[in-house]
């Protein structure tokens, strides 16, 4: 089978790596890919947002399955376009992708089906939004641009002054363009954050292992949000009971609701959750795999993933056995360019990746890298991620940092607290009797 992976980040390198390991696959193509995917399969210089180019590529190469990584092509309807050509696609159509593409749509969806989430209001005028936040007595509050903003359109505001400035930046200064025509203002939820992914063909649901991501740039969770600076899995506070609760209260109702809305959702649904004292609450839906979360999942998955991708794409997931997992822990440390998530430089030479990959149980996934002849150069904010398995979280952590430290480029930055013990602190587990 010939498989095309759309995208060029760490998520896509990890997916291509796992897909290439399948005995059913003889070739993996990536568009556009990165320096890491170039060593697994063939890269094509077609952007993930070039829908015409991607459809033409899939047709001319006779691709049998397309796996779409990023949200932009999903929201733009790439899966619909490919399906119209009779090509098997892992990824929802534009209707399902609205769960990520519009916060207003997803919040209305959550409320309509009584799926637990924070209280919220929507505003399409800055004046009304500011009037509302001036009237609030509970802080912090969360201000969100409605549309896609590469994970940067969400602001936790400590008081009305900060919220008003944020509303101005989004709605008046149009910092996120059309994505900021509307804002959602949401109650701040206290608890522990968790990313849960479920593969679905629209009716059957296949739960993947939970992963903990680190969203903020600074150690101890300070500073602005990023795409994600590190990961570990499994997550000690996630008990079977909590996973059952998440499945019953959030995931199954979501799949049911999608069906009721007439949305044929085939791909992965990624729920960003806050585990509060009253149970899980949905912070956001994503219509695609998380990055870097997917890297930990691909490292720990022992099943061949390709039959599951095909089954989800073709609507036959019900016939599949559960996915099996390595019981060891995985830690991934993201290396970023100095300055990220603000402005940063590109084009620095990267050395030591092969030396890092020689270590036991280590795989280095590329994100923002590109090949220049035989030299690998930095080409993005998040440059790569050193992932390692270990018999427990500490062992995996040691292996991951040992690998990371063998890699060099000018201005390399990482958080040093990925997978540290304070993350294991047990949360008051959500009470089964809590409101749903």
Residue numbers at the binding site for ligand AMP (CB under 6 A): 118, 142, 144, 154, 156, 186, 188-189, 193, 215, 225, 272, 274, 283-284
Give the residue with the Cβ less far from ligand GLY, 209 or 293: 293
What's the burial of 86, exposed, middle or buried (CB within 10 Å: 0-12/13-18/19+)? exposed
Closest C-alpha among 221, 218, 220, 195 to residue 208: 195
Interaction partner, residue 154 (ligand AMP, ligand GLY, none; CB < 5-8 Å by kind)? ligand AMP
Interaction partner, residue 189 (ligand GLY, ligand AMP, none; CB < 5-8 Å by kind)? ligand AMP
- Asked if the bond preceding 140 is cis, omega within 30° of 0, the reply is yes
What's the burial of 169, exposed, middle or buried (CB within 10 Å: 0-12/13-18/19+)? middle
Give the residue with the Cβ less far from ligand GLY, 93 or 292: 292
Give the residue with the Cβ less far from ligand AMP, 145 or 388: 145
Interaction partner, residue 78 (ligand AMP, ligand GLY, none; CB < 5-8 Å by kind)? none
What size, in residues, is the chain?
A: 436
Is 151 a binding residue for ligand GLY by CB under 6 A? The answer is yes
Is 77 a binding residue for ligand GLY by CB under 6 A? The answer is no
Q: What is the rounded distance in angstroms from the CA atom of residue 400 to the CA atom of residue 361?
A: 9
Helix axis angle for 160-167 and 126-134, nearest 10°, is: 170
Give the residue with the Cβ less far from ligand GLY, 295 or 329: 295
Q: What is the rounded distance in angstroms from the CA atom of residue 250 to the CA atom of residue 401?
A: 35
Give the residue with the Cβ less far from ligand AMP, 71 or 284: 284
What's the token pair of residue 155? 């602001």
CB of 430 to ligand GLY, least distance (A): 22
Closest C-alpha among 239, 237, 238, 233 to residue 396: 233
Stretch that binds ligand GLY, among 157-165, 289-297, 308-316, 400-408 (CB under 6 A): 289-297
Is 295 a binding residue for ligand GLY by CB under 6 A? The answer is no
Give the residue with the Cβ less far from ligand GLY, 166 or 195: 195
Please, are residues 97 and 149 in contact by the beta-carbon 8 Å criterion? no
Is 228 a binding residue for ligand GLY by CB under 6 A? The answer is yes
What's the token pair of residue 220? 């101890």
Q: Ramachandran region of residue 411, left (φ > 0), alpha (ψ -120 to 50) or beta?
A: left
Is 149 a binding residue for ligand GLY by CB under 6 A? The answer is no
Element (H, E) at 107: helix 103-112
Give the residue with the Cβ less far from ligand AMP, 216 or 314: 216
Interaction partner, residue 12 (ligand GLY, ligand AMP, none; CB < 5-8 Å by kind)? none
Stretch that binds ligand GLY, among 27-35, 185-193, 286-294, 362-370 (CB under 6 A): 286-294
CA-to-CA separations, 257 to 91, 113, 138, 203, in angstroms, rounded: 18, 7, 31, 10
CB of 211 to ligand GLY, least distance (A): 9
- For residue 96, what are the contacts with CB-CB under 8 A and spacing of at least 6? 258, 263, 264, 265, 267, 287
Using the rule CB under 6 A, which residue among 290, 332, 341, 419 binds ligand GLY? 290
Is 212 a binding residue for ligand GLY by CB under 6 A? The answer is no
CB of 193 to ligand GLY, least distance (A): 10
CB of 120 to ligand AMP, least distance (A): 8
Closest C-alpha among 402, 416, 414 to residue 357: 402
Is 191 a binding residue for ligand GLY by CB under 6 A? The answer is no
Q: Report the interface residues with ligand GLY, using CB under 6 A.
A: 151, 213, 227-228, 286, 290-291, 293
């Amino acid at each position: 089978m010939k498989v095309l992976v759309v995208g060029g980040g760490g998520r896509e390198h990890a997916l291509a790596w796992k897909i290439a390991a399948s005995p059913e696959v003889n070739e993996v193509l990536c568009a556009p890919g990165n320096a890491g995917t170039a060593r697994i399969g063939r890269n094509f210089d077609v952007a993930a947002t070039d829908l015409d180019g991607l459809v033409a590529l899939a047709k001319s190469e006779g691709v049998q399955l397309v796996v779409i990584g990023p949200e932009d092509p999903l929201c733009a309807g790439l899966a619909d376009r490919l399906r119209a050509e009779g090509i098997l696609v892992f990824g929802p159509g534009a209707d399902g992708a609205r769960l990520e593409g519009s916060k207003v749509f997803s919040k209305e969806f959550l409320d309509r089906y009584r799926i637990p989430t924070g209280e919220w209001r929507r505003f399409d005028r800055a004046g009304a939004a500011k009037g509302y936040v001036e009237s609030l007595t509970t802080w912090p509050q969360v201000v969100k641009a409605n549309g896609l903003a590469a994970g940067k359109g969400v602001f936790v505001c400590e008081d009305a002054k900060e919220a008003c400035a944020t509303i101005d930046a989004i709605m008046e200064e149009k910092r996120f363009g059309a994505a900021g025509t509307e804002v959602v203002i949401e109650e701040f939820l206290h608890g522990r954050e968790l990313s849960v992914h479920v593969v679905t063909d629209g009716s059957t649901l296949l739960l993947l292992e939970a992963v903990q991501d680190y969203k903020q740039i600074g150690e101890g969770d300070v500073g602005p949000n990023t795409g994600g600076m590190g990961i570990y899995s499994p997550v000690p506070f996630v008990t079977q009971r909590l996973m059952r609760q998440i499945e019953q209260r959030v995931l199954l109702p979501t799949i049911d609701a999608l069906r009721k809305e007439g949305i044929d959702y085939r791909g992965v649904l990624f729920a960003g959750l806050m585990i509060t004292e009253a149970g899980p609450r949905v912070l956001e839906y994503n219509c695609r795999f998380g990055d870097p979360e997917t890297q930990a999942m691909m490292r720990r998955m022992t099943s061949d993933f390709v039959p599951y991708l095909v089954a989800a794409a073709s609507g036959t997931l019900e016939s599949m056995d559960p996915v099996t997992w390595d019981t060891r822990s995985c830690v991934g440390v993201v290396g970023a360019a100095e300055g990220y998530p603000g402005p940063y430089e590109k084009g620095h030479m990267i050395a030591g990746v092969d030396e890092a990959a020689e270590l036991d149980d280590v795989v280095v996934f590329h994100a923002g890298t590109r090949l220049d002849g035989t030299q690998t150069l930095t080409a993005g904010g998040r440059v790569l991620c050193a992932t390692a398995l270990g018999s427990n979280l500490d062992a995996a952590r040691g292996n991951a940092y040992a690998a990371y430290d063998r890699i060099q480029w000018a201005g390399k930055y990482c958080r040093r607290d990925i997978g540290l013990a304070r993350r294991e602190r047990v949360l008051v587990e959500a009470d089964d009797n809590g409101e749903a």
